A and B are shown apart, each in its own frame.
Chain A
Amino acid sequence: EIVMTQSPATLSVSPGERVTLSCRASQSIFTDLAWYQQKPGQAPRLLIYGASTRATGIPARFTGSGSGTDFTLTISSLQPEDFAIFYCQQYHNWPPVTFGQGTKLEIK
Chain B
Amino acid sequence: EVQLLDSGGRMVQRGGSLRLSCAVSGFTFRSYTMHWVRQAPGKGLEWVSSISATSLSTYYADSVKGRFTISRDNSKNTLYLQMNSLRAEDTAVYYCAKDRTTKVVEGGSLDNWGQGTLVTVSS
Interface of A toward B, CB cutoff 8 Å: 32, 34, 36, 38, 42-46, 49-50, 55-56, 87, 89, 91-92, 94-102
Question: Which of the four size classes fits the interface of chain B?
Answer: 20 to 34
Q: How far is the CA of A50 from the CA of B107 in the complex (A)?
A: 10
Please tell me if the beta carbons of B107 and A102 are within 8 angstroms of each other in the complex.
no
| A94-B105 Cα distance, complex, nearest whole Å | 10
Minimal Cβ-Cβ distance residue in A for B63: A96
Q: Report yes or no: B46 in contact with A46, Cβ–Cβ below 8 A.
A: no
In the assembled complex, the CB of B38 is this many whole angstroms from the nearest CB of chain A, namely: 11
Contact check, A44 vs B113: say whether CB atoms are below 8 A apart: yes
Contact of B44 among A46, A50, A95, A100 (CB under 8 A): A100
Q: Cα distance A34–B113 when bound, in Å?
A: 14
Within 8 A of A (CB), among B24-55: 35, 37, 44-47, 50
Contact of A99 among B46, B111, B113 (CB under 8 A): B46
* Chain B residues in 8 Å Cβ range of A34: 108-110
Q: List 28 A-B contacts (CB under 8 A).
A: A34-B108, A36-B45, A43-B114, A43-B115, A43-B116, A44-B37, A44-B95, A45-B113, A46-B111, A46-B112, A49-B100, A55-B100, A89-B45, A89-B109, A89-B110, A91-B107, A91-B108, A94-B50, A95-B47, A95-B59, A95-B61, A96-B47, A96-B59, A97-B35, A99-B46, A99-B47, A102-B44, A102-B45
**Chain B positions near chain A (C-beta within 8 angstroms):** 35, 37, 44-47, 50, 59-61, 95, 100, 107-116
Knowing A34-B109, A46-B109, say if A97 contacts B47 (CB, 8 Å). yes
| B113 contact from A43, A87, A97, A98, Cβ within 8 A | A43
B100 vs chain A, min Cβ distance (A): 6
A43 in contact with B95 (CB, 8 Å): yes
